[in-house]
Structure 1
Amino acid sequence: MTTDDSQAATKLRATMVSELHDLGAIRSESVAAAVATVPRHLFAPGAPLEDAYAADNPLVIKRDVNGKALSSMSAAHIQVVMLEQAGIEAGMRVLEIGSGGYNAALLAEIVGEQGRVTTVDIDPEIVERAGACLRSTGYDHIDVVLADAEEGVPANAPYDRIIVTAGAWDIPPAWLEQLSPDGRIVVPLRLKGVTRTIAFYCDGEGGLISRSYGPCGFVPFQGAGSTGRGAPVLMRGGSFAYRTSRENEETGGYETGVIAHGPSAEQIADRYVESLRRWAREHHRRGAATIRYLPKSAAVPAPSSGLIIKRHGAVVVSWP
């Protein structure tokens, strides 16, 4: 990289920090300092500088033979949002699930010399690449581990914070076991076909309760915890209905609709539509929901409504 390129990168990085402030993503001095320090472009070799420092631009790192993204560097905006959700402090021990290098470097800047960052990924190529980028940028003290993140990294536990940078369908028991009693997990969790980055903290009863959440999009989790994508479906007998959407050219947004099949298609479609309307009346824009995660090991009875069954437990969504 030439001197001119280095100067251009420094300028673009400062602009990105300013944009993230304006978007309300950066809220703390520690996160601002980390983003202003770590050279994001060096973790995206080959990408144009303008792309590397675009606040809302994710960069695909690896694709499969069909062109599907297997790993990516998330947009700086969502990375910063998750860092702020995590509330990381100097001296903390942090586990990052899903390695790219850049986010781990941000974590290292925030926890400082007294803290410890461990990043884990199941893909050997991604681990090798992340390790090389971290070493070349002076972050060789970060532990880069090749493993199935379903089991966490018990050797470096317990962790004050666990940040998941891949779309997860469930929360494995190992993550809870390796989290300190007053720790926090920030995870892009898929609920009924929609992924939200949720900041969970321990509820004192063996489960987790949300502190904040917001919409996001991530490359799906790989390994033992992976699962296929789906959409909410209402079924009755030989009929089923599912939600769809289409662009509205007049508003510039989208309209939600329902498609149904089977002998009772009309009836089941009407029922689905009424469920959507009830949600809009009773919950939409009426305050934040509370999202709880109840592992199978927790001695907390699961309520009968707002329940989403998972492999290792259940999610309960409720509104005030």
Structure 2
Amino acid sequence: MPELPEVEVVRRGLARWVRGRTITSVDVLDPRSIRRHGLGAEDFIGNLERATVLDVVRRGKFLWMPLAMEVSDGEGSDGVEPSGGSDGGGPLPDVILPGVALMAHLGMSGQLLMQDPHVPDEKHLKVRIRLSAAEGMPEQLRFVDQRIFGGLFVTALVPTPDGGPGGLGETPLPEIAEEAAHIARDPLDPYFSFEDFYRKVKSRKTGLKRVLLDQSVISGIGNIYADEALWRAGLHYARPTDTLRRADAERLVESARDVMTDALAAGGTSFDSLYVNVNGDSGYFARSLNAYGRTGEPCSRCAAAGLVSIIKREQFMNRSSHTCPVCQPRPRNGRW
């Protein structure tokens, strides 16, 4: 399943192509892909057609596009002219301030692709969204999903509990998609609070990796980047959280931030064709992984220090954890 870097790659691509453009029509080709929209296809389409995409926002692995309807009097609903600017679609039109958003859940195989009408439909095309014309820009946003674990739905935007932006976007707004309101900020969010993270970690009595995967403590980290962050920080996944020193926690957050920044630069991690960016390209960070998927291979850090150590794989929460037994020694009191 895509983690923060993969979703952020998609967000950046979408922001370039769809921000400031109006949805002209929508085709729902497979109702299963909008099953989270409880009122059905007709209501889903009615909420999208003639709406303007104001932005593309991400918190953790959650992705949404705030929407608004055009007005003709040159002012927003509060009498204040909206700020313009777009990465591609021209200045944003006059709009009513947003209250709803199109939310995308990629699941295990969901893809959001920007394509022109002449491109043949993909085998697993589920939803087609046509956008207002913009010079040099693809006209369609297509949702493709082979395994149908993902989907699209329209949701309400609610005020953020801390008054900060709902997530990472081009035009920060203090609103968040209702389904994402319960999750913590992620390490790449400028409003991420280390103090809040450390307080939550110390209050739990569990293993360190379990906390990293808990989206209410820190969001956006899944199995791949948890293993990579722990390897970079030199910490074992079973380290009890109540024994974690402040310096260790700071090193872990920085390691998570660094590994996800590196993954972003490489376009994310792709092990197969199911994860691609909006142009259909795969990421290549898998070539730079140091722990995840490296079972039986030498630990690169130990090798650089002249030590011999082999990455090992252990069962963890119906998944796997990959560690170096030398530079990530298992704690004596590690129970998880």
> What TM-score, normalized to structure 1?
0.25
> What TM-score, normalized to structure 2?
0.24
Q: Which is strand-richer, 1 or 2? A: 1
Q: Which is helix-richer, 1 or 2? A: 1
